[in-house]
Amino acid sequence: MAPNRENRRLASPILQSPHSNTNKPSGFHFLAGLTSGISTAILLQPADLLKTRLQQPNSLPLLPTIRSIASTGLLSFWRGTLPSALRTGFGSAIYFTSLNTLRQSVARSNILRPGATNTHSSSLPKLSAWANLGTGAVARAGAGFVLMPMTVIKVSTSSSTSP
């Protein structure tokens, strides 16, 4: 049974491509990166804390380290979450925002885009492999450089074994 014109018209907003708005503002990318980075940091903080503690010289094996942290309370597994969440949140926000800006700039200028076209379903501009590599590397290096002080603070709070 083929859908009639009315059914297609009603269903069209649901079936529209998620990429229909190709020029999202930088604030959208910043907020998306910030939210994903903070969420990831909070969810993975216990594993990150264990990894940091196990990498220290003269560290205990895994199970005694877990017992040592747990002896001061379950919330101890989230020690150092604030610096980690800030570092990861703002790192992702800066990365996604700068990556989008760089990709849009490269696409508009046709630098590193020999023969590329925008006839595809993605909202991302079509770039060459070298342009993708270059914009990603510059965005990631820039975010890492800006947030290096926060990384030092994060590692020092996670490394401390005092409550």
Distance CA 31, CA 65 (A): 36
Residue 141 belongs to some domain of the structure: yes
For residue 162, what pLDDT is reported?
Answer: 56
Distance CA 41, CA 109 (A): 36
Residue 54 belongs to some domain of the structure: yes
- pTM of the entire structure? 0.69
Residue 6 belongs to some domain of the structure: no
Residue 7 belongs to some domain of the structure: no
Q: What is the residue-averaged pLDDT of the chain?
A: 80
Residue 25, classified by CB atoms within 10 Å of its CB into exposed (0-12), middle (13-18) or buried (19+), is exposed
Q: For residue 45, what are the domain limits?
A: 27-112+125-159
- The number of domains in the chain is 1
Residue 12 belongs to some domain of the structure: no
Residue 74 belongs to some domain of the structure: yes
First to last CA, the chain: 68
pLDDT digits (tens, 9 = 90+) for 76-128: 999 889 988 999 999 999 999 999 999 988 888 866 555 555 555 566 778 88
